[in-house]
Structure 1
Amino acid sequence: MNDQELGQVREFISRHVNGVRVDDEEDLFAGGHVNSLFAVQLVMWIERTFEVPMESEDLDFANIASIASVAAFVDRKRTAAWTSS
């Protein structure tokens, strides 16, 4: 994931945590910043923004628990799509 895309993730999350600064590695759910409804919104946003489908096996909080985990997830999905083509 490039810096611009990482910035998009930070901005999206920042809007949903009322501008509270969240470190890239900070667990959004354990920190009480977001809830399960936000998880659904985040999944849909990731799919639309990065054109990365989330399959049923991808629906794991570990994939969206932090800014860094979202970036890693998108990178994994892109790599998997690239190597399977």
Structure 2
Amino acid sequence: MSASTFGAYGATTTETTILAFIEDHTKISWEPDTDLFASGSVTSLFALELVVFLERTFGVAVTGEDLTLANFRTVAAMTALVDRLRERT
């Protein structure tokens, strides 16, 4: 499924789709392993937007045990989360 095109971002992988979304909203270029929260550029409100974005874009449900900062700290972590959630469905 990672070879599909995801929404308005025209990205072809989960990672590039997430990066495009974050870069569009922060106007900052990010590396997949950069700690978004330590940078001070990502707020708790934006964290909620990230959850909704992942659910809508990738057709997954982020619930309970998956709602941890560790799963949203980096683009790489969010990519891994989406991959895990896809395997559950």
TM-score bucket (shorter structure): 0.7 to 0.9
- Percent identity of equivalent pairs: 40
Shift, 1:43, TM fit: 0.2
More helix as a share of residues? 1
Give the number of the structure with larger relative contact order, counting CA–CA contacts within 8 Å between residues 6 or more apart.
1
List alignment gaps of at least 5 residues for structure 2: 4-11
CA distance in 2, matches of 1:8, 1:30: 21
Unaligned runs of 5+ in 1: none
CA contact (8 A) 1:16 1:34 kept: no
Q: Deviations over 1:2-40 (max 9, x none)?
A: 36132211110001211x111100010011121100000
2:87 matched to 1:79? yes
Q: 1:47 aligns with which of 34, 48, 55?
A: 55
User: Is residue 2:15 matched to residue 1:6?
Assistant: yes
TM-score normalized with structure 1 length: 0.86
Whether the 8 Å CA contact 1:24–1:66 is kept in 2: the answer is yes
Q: How many residues align?
A: 80
Q: TM-score, normalised by structure 2?
A: 0.82
AA paired with 2:50? L
The answer as to whether partners of 1:29 and 1:65 remain within 8 angstroms in 2 is yes
The aligned amino acid for 1:68 is: A
- CA drift of 1:80 comes to 2.2
Is 1:61 matched up with 2:69? yes
> After TM superposition, where is structure 1 displaced by more than 6 Å over at least 4 residues in a row?
none
